[in-house]
Structure 1
Amino acid sequence: MTDSLASSVQAMDLGAPDVDDLIERCKTLHEEVEQYVIAVDTSQRQAKIPFQVEYRTLRSDFKNELAFLQKLKSANHPPEKARHYAVSSNLLYYEALWAAAKRSSGLLAFRKYFYWNRQKGQAKNATSSYKGGVSKGKTSALVDIVAADGMEWIRVSTTSEKRLLFDLAKMGWQNDSDSDSEMEDAVPSNWEDEDDDDQVEIVKSARELARAARANPMRGHAPKVRYVLTRLASGRLKEVDMVLDKMRAVGIIVECANEIPGTPSVQDALPNLLVDRSRTLSKTLNIDCTILLALISDISHGECEILDWYPGEVRAQILEEQKEKLLPTHLYPAIASHPMVTTQEAAEQMNVIVDTLATDAEKRRANLLLAQRDCQDMAPTDILKEWQTLSDHPSPPSFQLPIRVFPAHVSSRIDTLPAAAKKMQTELGELNAAIFFYGWAEGLTTLSSNRARAKQIERFINEVGLKDGQSGPHVWLCGESRSLIAKCGRRK
């Protein structure tokens, strides 16, 4: 280690922070996070999202930080001791984390560990754990923010140039002219050939994130990893740029202090931070059989009396509908003005169920929905007008009926889909393969309430994987289903 590298960091000292200032900043941070939590809870109740946003670690950390600072102030330590304690505050990091979150969208989790190598007997892929415990081993990576509906991981670092240069000096890096050629060769052709223990902390962390992302695919692809360095600028010091190159070599995005875009206010950012699955819907929607039935069910369209001979499932759905209306709360907002299609197989399955169980009103809605049988010559405006007379709920402006019906042609489409399709075809069965493969091949979002099949597809995609440029089927999963009310005679 040379004196020249150490001397370049002597003036890089931010000094001790003021406790009162830290408390005010932390209060602002805490208030914004509480606004976000309230919005998330409200959104999840209304949208019936089939998973919960994991914000509790973030909320707890920020609350504890504020309590620590307030306790520090009330302790009336001598100024020097108070400054010593204040330096240990994590507020700078929490501010950076929250700012990065506000520049993101579709937040799913905070401060979460993901594994890339599980012990024998444990699942190989798609495994994660909360902060703490065994997740602190060398086979896991900490993700500060899981964003973009799970497709982006964000890690935030407040490492300073001073800290980084000292770490490099400790490892033997030199910043004189004789070392220029050494630094030019610092990034290997294959970073996995290097020992992580020989790297500075942020390079180690970048490599851990890259491994974990590969082991935890989302829709067949590793999540995009973004590493935000709030106190390191690119293009200023060659030693810093060398470290940045090592981080980028693992395939992640590195965002330096001089590249970070402006941070919006919490009011402006809030709509984007909430999970909104409608943002990712295709222009035309593929409707599966479960949603076709939900759209025509009497339960979805008005008050239904619970009769003593109704099956338990129907009784439960009527009670659920009394608390939360499926059409105006979930299906209509998602469908909006999107054109809709369905497969011949899904339509035929719906008609089999309709012919067996449906009430007269449900039969009529089925014919209107698909413009079939005695409705096949009706104009769309007439279909919509009659549809509305059969419902207590107004349909969306520009609601597009009828749903167009197309044959799936699975046998001719299967060869155009990724390899995972062939592996899952038998397990899905003819009907579900026709529905989901049609949407997949056409690049359409499939609306479904078939949770088991959606999870099955996700598991196959993640196990088999996808090649660059390929994508898995996009499924919008409804949290609730609706059966036909059933004509008289259906028994428990």
Structure 2
Amino acid sequence: MSPDSELPTPAQSGITTASTATDGQASLYSTSSPPETSAQIAGHLLQQCRNLLAEVDALQGLLAQRLRNPQLVEVRQFRSNVTAELRMLEKLEQQVRDASGDNGSRDSDGGGGGGDDASEQAQQTPEVEMRLLHALRSSNLPFYQAVWKIARGSCTGLIALGKRFYWDGETKRSERAAVEGRGKKQPNKDKRKSVFVDIIADDGEEWVKVSTISESRLLFEMAKKGWERESDEDEGTGSEGEGGRTILQNFDGDGEDSDEDDELELIKLARDLKRAADATRVRYRHPRLRVVIPKIEEGNVPEIDDILREMRSYGIKIECQESLSGDPTTANLARLLPQPFKRFTPTLNVDCTLLLAIVSDLSHVKDMPPLPNFHKAILRQIEVEKQQPLLSTELWPAMGEHNLICTKEAATRMCDIVETIGTATEKTRTQIMMGDAPYDHCDHNTLIQKFQELSEHPVPTGWKIPIRVVEAQSVIDAAKAQDKLPSVADEIAKGLSDINHSVFMYGWVTGLMTVSSNRTIDRQIEATIEKNRQGNNDLEGPLVWICDTARSLAGKDKDRR
């Protein structure tokens, strides 16, 4: 596990500690009165923890069932923390039983709190009961429940339940690397210049931070750190002139070297989230920020409302108790699955790399024999294909019923490769997919039928073939002449081969989503844009969707490169 994937206990993450929100231990899912004795609380928390663990396990099972790579959604560390909390609660429950003199066997399901609570408590000293109550009420479970409830009830496209992001300019990395699971914490990263985000959702485009701080705890912190609420009508000072009110802060300046000991944790959190988000781009955009504070009700305490107003000044969406509604347990877990196709345009621009993958024998033969002349890369692809067929699990779902086009350069290059090293079946699939002779007069249904005859996987009837070939260069030249592309486009074009220029630049000028497995070019374009952004936060590159893997032609022999 990468250190950047750590999920700290709430005590490590500052304001989100469960111990700061011990106003009753009723589950966030329940409106019933909280239990009172240590035996009751132990049994209640144990059941709630088991329920939470079961729901997280259900999500992991769904990820394994629906995703080619379930590890792209990081929930393992969150589950590990909940499991550790369960073990701690089981130990506390046993201590409750021991203190009450009840050493009888547990129920077969491991449930806690058995026996007559009143008789058990009668045998405990007040000191022991208070110690056990304090330990149980300091459980981190309410925090984990809050994170899960908010994720399940208000998020889609889950990427992670917990990840750290940095704003150190020299060591920051893109969200793309974090999402793909390749980002590793480097030794020179300063954890003080980072923020831990509880939920990364909307396929990386939304960060959600959860705070289970209560009103009483927040007011206590404000009093302890000298925060006051005063009118600026007489003195003529104040922040933002907000109705003659101001928030006085006990620290000087906004620099990173400022003394922040007397700064409110919620304000520090808002600023740190903004810093990290400003240092991160997801598909050319900064992530949206949301802070959820389920134990605060806005409009009750003017001093707290001022704090919330200050947090919103950082461009953060703040949600309090009154904005949370509904029962998250009724929400379909499938809404948490990543949604990689949400930006797809009605027509997709298909790169040469995926055209080859679609016609390759490796994509259509379920039990491809590993022949001696196969390159080791092909042997690896055969093993991957056995586990997760590329077409049925990724490419055909991605293409759906979208119209499909490719540039003349991509089609020519693909056909040249197939003609040179392709097998007979790979050549026939190419002719069918592109609508070339002898299939140029076939209707759509006939093409699907002919393609199905050459595949051991069911070919979707809605797959839009033949793929239409378009003239790219004239369209690109016209867009440049009309200044439809930003100036950085010339710099990007310098680093592209003729075929990549036609594919990616055509997708850019037409606004079409380009589907490809050429991750190197995609990153090269992103890096060039970031290097030449020159303060233009709205600058975006072409729409690109990268397939995690590709397929070579089976005709490729061992000595070819």
Q: What's the TM-score, normalizing by structure 1?
A: 0.86
Which of 2, 5, 14 is 2:23 aligned to? 14
Look up the match of 2:492.
424
Displacement of 1:441 after TM fit?
Answer: 2.9
Letter in 2 for 1:114: F
Is the 8 Å Cα contact of residues 219 and 461 (structure 1) preserved in structure 2? no
Is the 8 Å Cα contact of residues 310 and 491 (structure 1) preserved in structure 2? no
Displacement of 1:395 after TM fit?
Answer: 1.2
Which of 234, 250, 260 is 2:314 aligned to? 250
Look up the match of 1:54.
74
Displacement of 1:286 after TM fit?
Answer: 1.4
Which of 267, 273, 281 is 2:336 aligned to? 273
**Cα RMSD (Å) of the superposition?**
3.3
Look up the match of 1:236.
300
Change (3 A) 1:301 1:111: closer
Answer yes or no: is 1:390 the counterpart of 2:410.
no
Look up the match of 2:146.
96
Is the 8 Å Cα contact of residues 157 and 201 (structure 2) preserved in structure 1? yes
Look up the match of 2:5.
none
| Superposed CA offset, 1:226-246 (max 9, x none) | 100111122222111111111
Separation (CA, whole Å) in 2 of partners of 1:182 and 1:380: 70
Look up the match of 1:72.
92
Look up the match of 2:246.
186
Displacement of 1:196 after TM fit?
Answer: 7.6
Letter in 1 for 2:285: H
Of Structure 1 and Structure 2, the greater helix share is in 1
Separation (CA, whole Å) in 2 of partners of 1:375 and 1:68: 67
| Superposed CA offset, 1:444-486 (max 9, x none) | 2222122322333343444445845554433322222122222
Look up the match of 2:165.
114
Is the 8 Å Cα contact of residues 340 and 404 (structure 1) preserved in structure 2? yes
Letter in 2 for 1:172: G
Is the 8 Å Cα contact of residues 376 and 558 (structure 2) preserved in structure 1? no
Look up the match of 2:554.
485
Look up the match of 2:213.
159
Look up the match of 2:283.
219
How many residues in Structure 1 have an aligned counterpart in Structure 2? 473
Separation (CA, whole Å) in 1 of partners of 2:186 and 2:492: 36
Residues 80-89 or 255-264, more deviating? 255-264
Residues 173-182 or 23-32, more deviating? 173-182
Letter in 1 for 2:353: T
Is the 8 Å Cα contact of residues 529 and 540 (structure 2) preserved in structure 1? no
Q: Which structure is higher in RCO with an 8 Å CA cutoff and minimum separation 6?
A: 1
Separation (CA, whole Å) in 1 of partners of 2:139 and 2:493: 55
Separation (CA, whole Å) in 2 of partners of 1:68 and 1:433: 58
Separation (CA, whole Å) in 2 of partners of 1:115 and 1:215: 7
Percent identity reads 36
Displacement of 1:204 after TM fit?
Answer: 0.6
Separation (CA, whole Å) in 1 of partners of 2:186 and 2:24: 31
| Superposed CA offset, 1:62-114 (max 9, x none) | 11111111111111352111111122111221111111110211111222211
Separation (CA, whole Å) in 1 of partners of 2:421 and 2:517: 20
Separation (CA, whole Å) in 1 of partners of 2:208 and 2:358: 39
Look up the match of 1:5.
none
Answer yes or no: is 1:475 the counterpart of 2:544.
yes
Separation (CA, whole Å) in 2 of partners of 1:158 and 1:404: 55
Look up the match of 1:137.
191
Separation (CA, whole Å) in 2 of partners of 1:365 and 1:373: 12
Separation (CA, whole Å) in 2 of partners of 1:72 and 1:245: 41
Change (3 A) 1:363 1:248: same
Look up the match of 1:35.
58
Gaps of 5+ in 2: 1-20, 26-35, 100-127
Letter in 1 for 2:147: L
Change (3 A) 1:125 1:187: farther
Answer yes or no: is 1:444 the counterpart of 2:494.
no
Residues 193-202 or 125-134, more deviating? 125-134
Is the 8 Å Cα contact of residues 187 and 249 (structure 1) preserved in structure 2? no
Is the 8 Å Cα contact of residues 143 and 153 (structure 1) preserved in structure 2? yes
SS at match of 2:338: coil
Letter in 1 for 2:547: C
Residues 53-62 or 203-212, more deviating? 53-62
Which of 266, 270, 273 is 1:209 aligned to? 273
Look up the match of 1:356.
420
Which of 119, 122, 132 is 1:82 aligned to? 132
Displacement of 1:202 after TM fit?
Answer: 0.7
Displacement of 1:156 after TM fit?
Answer: 0.1
Displacement of 1:370 after TM fit?
Answer: 1.8
Separation (CA, whole Å) in 2 of partners of 1:289 and 1:131: 35
Residues 284-293 or 18-27, more deviating? 18-27
| Superposed CA offset, 1:425-447 (max 9, x none) | 22232221221222233332222
Change (3 A) 1:425 1:186: farther
Separation (CA, whole Å) in 1 of partners of 2:556 and 2:86: 60
| Superposed CA offset, 1:303-325 (max 9, x none) | 54443333333343344434432
Is the 8 Å Cα contact of residues 351 and 503 (structure 2) preserved in structure 1? yes
| Superposed CA offset, 1:327-360 (max 9, x none) | 2222222222221111111111112212212233
Separation (CA, whole Å) in 2 of partners of 1:364 and 1:99: 52
SS at match of 1:401: coil
Separation (CA, whole Å) in 2 of partners of 1:293 and 1:132: 37
Separation (CA, whole Å) in 1 of partners of 2:374 and 2:173: 44
Displacement of 1:60 after TM fit?
Answer: 1.3
Is the 8 Å Cα contact of residues 111 and 131 (structure 1) preserved in structure 2? no
